[in-house]
Amino acid sequence: EMSEMSERSKQNVAHGLAWSYYIGYLKIVLPRVKKLMEEFSRANPNVLACRETWKLHILVPLSCDIYDDLDRADSNIQYVTDLTETTLTRAGTKNRVYKHSLYAIRDEDNKLWHCAVEYATPLQTLYAMSQDECAAFSREDRLEQAKLFCRTLEEILKGSKECAGTYRLIVYEGSGEAETHFLSRIILWNLRQQYHEEYALCEGNQLHNPSMSLSSTELNLQISESDLPQPLRSDCF
């Protein structure tokens, strides 16, 4: 009876997606990220200057709007190359390939900031469910499940020692349809924040917060200021 109640209220959707994403993907790739970044940096010493950004930047839009091509979504985002592939045999699939793409983000001064960035792919499932009549999954359900997915994923990663310092969750609200460079501004804000964390620049050079639907206070609650993200507050949404 409890299982049926949970199924009807869809309480288990996001929880399962978060654990599947961690066990089936993040736990595999994140411990290798810094090594891959270091390899790339040795071959390209002037590209990844800030070691604090040697992480996988995971985009988590609460709207679940995901673009397959980041450089088409925002002209200030340019694909550079793929980092070295990780090849493993998993669940009967020989030589399964895991890889991350490196992007250059152009700022307002035409400077390029480089980082590995990708979306949290389980959000595509939540979006697809809200579009499928068989799932009986409303937009309100999708938003609540997106929040739950984010909170669950944060808690999982906070407890994972092997993943510490290898990722950065970039949680935001809105799809950016009204602003041409919405996505690049969000990524740049995070890269600048990490740059300041590493080099401890003086207070006179404050970060420029992107103009988004969330206030700066709400944004700080959702985007971690350290290697491990801080807990989300559900009353912000």
pLDDT digits (tens, 9 = 90+) for 110-161: 999 999 999 999 999 898 888 877 666 788 888 999 999 999 999 999 999 9
Q: Are 147 and 133 in contact (CB under 8 A)?
A: no
Distances, alpha carbon 165 to alpha carbons 95, 172, 207, in Å: 27, 20, 21
210 pLDDT more than 60: no
Above 50 in pLDDT, residue 7?
Answer: no
pLDDT band at 18 (very low <50, low <70, confident <90, very high): very high
Please, what is the average pLDDT of the chain?
81
- Model confidence at 213, pLDDT cuts 50, 70, 90, reads very low
The CATH architecture annotation of domain 7-206 reads 3-Layer(aba) Sandwich (3.40)
Give residue 28's identity as a one-letter amino acid code: I
pLDDT at 31: 96
For the chain, what are the domain ranges? 7-206
Cα separation, 68 vs 118, in Å, equals: 9
Average the pLDDT over 54-76 and give the result: 93
Q: Which residue has the tokens 């917060």?
A: 209
Owner of token pair 């009967």: 92
Question: What residue type is 8 in one-letter code?
Answer: R
**Is the predicted pLDDT of residue 203 greater than 50, yes or no?**
no
Q: Does the pLDDT at position 9 exceed 70?
A: no
- pLDDT exceeds 60 at position 100: yes
Write phi, then psi, for 98 (nearest 5 degrees). Answer: -120, 130
